[in-house]
Amino acid sequence: MAYFSVFHEYIKKTKNAVGLPFLALCWISFFWGTTWIASKEGVKHMPAMQLVVLRQFFGGILYLAYFIIKKEPWPNKRQWRNIFILSVLNFMLSNGLSTWGVKYISSGLGAIIGSIFPLWIVMISFFRGEKMSWRAVVGLLICFSGICVIFYDYLNDFLEPEFRFGILLSIIATFTWALSSIYIRENKTNFNPYFSLGLQMLISCFVISGVIGFNGSSIPLNEIPAISWWSIAYLVVFGSVLTFIAFIYALEHLPKEVSSLYAYINPIVALFFGYVLFNEPLTVPIIIGGIVTIFGLYMVNKAIRK
């Protein structure tokens, strides 16, 4: 509890510090990239959704305890509605399914798929009647080309049902993250975003826990190996608490085109550490396809900001 309080107070006292927002961006770019590695290691030894429950329970409790001690006001009726919807989109579906998906695919591939959510934003906006700029069209085509190059090395893996299932879960996760981004843009409230995150985590934790308890897809806590507990601890501290604080801080203090740079760096970090730690494939097609895909994402993000 103490580290959270100190970190939060430090940020509040140094809002105008030169370079602190960029330091927050670097933190996000690195640690959210490594969370794919931690998730991959954790789900090797336990059910994926149980890992999600434990991660979100401990992360949510830390947030909730802090704001209860600070006597922060609780959300009103409209804010509760937004919190519940975002809990479903962000944590039950996006975070939950991406963690489940990485059980069957490499962490690097999961990170690349996770980074393409801007493509869904453009396509959803198009089907809602919004015009697509030439940048968006070009970016979509470039991204599609890059993804085709990446999957060239995985063609044989598509013969395996588990691999196809992991890809499907990861794609659905990116789609729900895009829905969440659109929903936040159109339904802004003045409720404390950090408090909101904690409540979202806890709501999703209890719902998912009920589901896996009903179908029996969990193991006793004393059977979870130490390596998975270390993975959960890493995901809680760096994935669910400190990095979310840095993320919201960067959004508040950096231009949008700068604060979104983490989306291009996360897959690179995941690919590198996946190769070093797990001997995951890092071939020429994957490298070239990754670069092409990231450039396409840059074009799409530029179109979204326009």
* pLDDT of amino acid 54: 92
Distance separating alpha carbons of residues 143 and 281, to the nearest angstrom = 20
- Residue 104: the pLDDT is 92
CA distances from 19 to 14, 15, 16, 23, 25 (A): 10, 10, 9, 6, 10
Any idea where the domains of the chain sit in the sequence? 47-226+276-306
Q: What is the pLDDT of residue 293?
A: 79
Distance CA 38, CA 235 (A): 7
Residue 27 DSSP one-character state: H
Residue closest to 7 by CA, chosen among 295, 244, 262, 182: 244
pLDDT at residue 268 in the model = 81
Positive or negative: CA dihedral 246, 55, 168, 30: positive
pTM recorded for the entire structure: 0.81
Rounded mean pLDDT for each run of 10 residues along the chain, 306 residues in total: 48 53 83 88 89 92 88 87 92 91 87 80 76 74 78 75 91 90 80 86 91 79 90 89 82 68 78 80 78 77 65
